[in-house]
Amino acid sequence: MRMAALSSSQHVTVIGGGIFGVSSAVHLARLGVRVTLVTEASFASQASGRSLSWLNSARFRSADYHRLRIIGMDRYRTLASRNEGAPWLRFEGGLTWDADDASNRIAEAFAYEQSIGYDCQLLDPADVAKVTPGIDAGAISRQGAIFNPGEGWVDLPSLIELMLQEFQTLGGKVITDAGKASVDVKGGRATGVSTASGLLVEADAILVATGSAVPSMVKDAGHFIADGTPTTLLVKSKPFSHAVRAVLNTPNVALRPTSDGSIVCDSAWSEAALNRNSNGSYEIKQDMIDRLLSDVRAF
């Protein structure tokens, strides 16, 4: 099912209340398209509400992917200039270091970032405090850390709330708590959206922006998209007094500050340790949370 060029007389339904669904709906509304935005529960209730949202293109990436990420960072800087001082969008740098073992590639990563013009500084542990506060130099491996001053983070639920205000001002229609949605197909084309709550929304085109549910939804509509969805875990602390400003990407945990004085963190090891239950939910053990927070306290 191909989507032809849209006109203002046509109606598009976007399924999904995360950052991709909401931002797509806003952009369509800016073009004058009539848009209905449908979400299963509340907005940012899935991945967008549990994302570290680190704005970066650090380390090793393909040229095309690096370019895409740089374009995204540029747009976020434009957004920051239009919302000066916003606590939910900050560009206060990123700091990364590797373990003190044979896997350490900090010097190589620094040389690569320099070669592509990505703003970076290779720092001895004792010099980190000169560029960003709140980090114990003793936690940084002897090979040093890379500071990328142009990096930042965004709180996606706050951004989604801002975009929804614009979307509705532009005449967009919002349907929340609709339950699971499915695409109606007739004669080989999408004609509307049916929801578990009993709604039927007719549309000339449908955008499915439901994260990990996309492969199964398009399969039901007769198409195939490979499912590469990772399992992720984001832990948020209670607010406490700290001086961390940068996003930290360390051997055991990645973390960043929040606008309310908390710290959010994730890690590859904790995600690998999650146990999936027979009903599709995940079991998160307290000792896993304790270990993550212990890693955070080490800084």
Digit-coded pLDDT (tens) for 104-132: 999 999 999 999 999 999 999 999 999 99
Angstrom CA distances, 72 to 115, 166, 237, 266, 271, stand at: 21, 20, 28, 22, 26
Query: Which residue do the tokens 């085109």 mark?
Result: 205
In this prediction, residues 65-90 reach a mean pLDDT of 96
CA angle 16, 162, 232 (to 5 degrees): 50
Query: Dihedrals φ, ψ of 116, to 5°?
Result: -105, 5
**pLDDT digits 0-9 by tens, 9-60:** 789 999 999 999 999 999 999 999 999 999 999 999 988 988 999 999 999 9
The encoded tokens of residue 35 equal 């848009």
Whole-prediction pTM: 0.89
Query: Which alpha helices (H) appear in 39-176, and where do they start and end?
Result: 63-82, 106-115, 156-169
Range 180-184, long-range pairs (CB < 8 A, 24+ positions): 180/40, 181/15, 181/38, 181/40, 181/210, 181/217, 182/217, 182/220, 182/221, 183/15, 183/208, 183/217, 183/218, 183/220, 183/221
Domains of the chain: 11-48+157-220 (3.50.50.60), 90-152+233-297 (3.30.9.10)
Q: Decide if pLDDT at 4 tops 60.
A: no
Which has the higher per-residue pLDDT, 253 or 290? Answer: 253
In this prediction, residues 243-264 reach a mean pLDDT of 94
DSSP class of 33: -
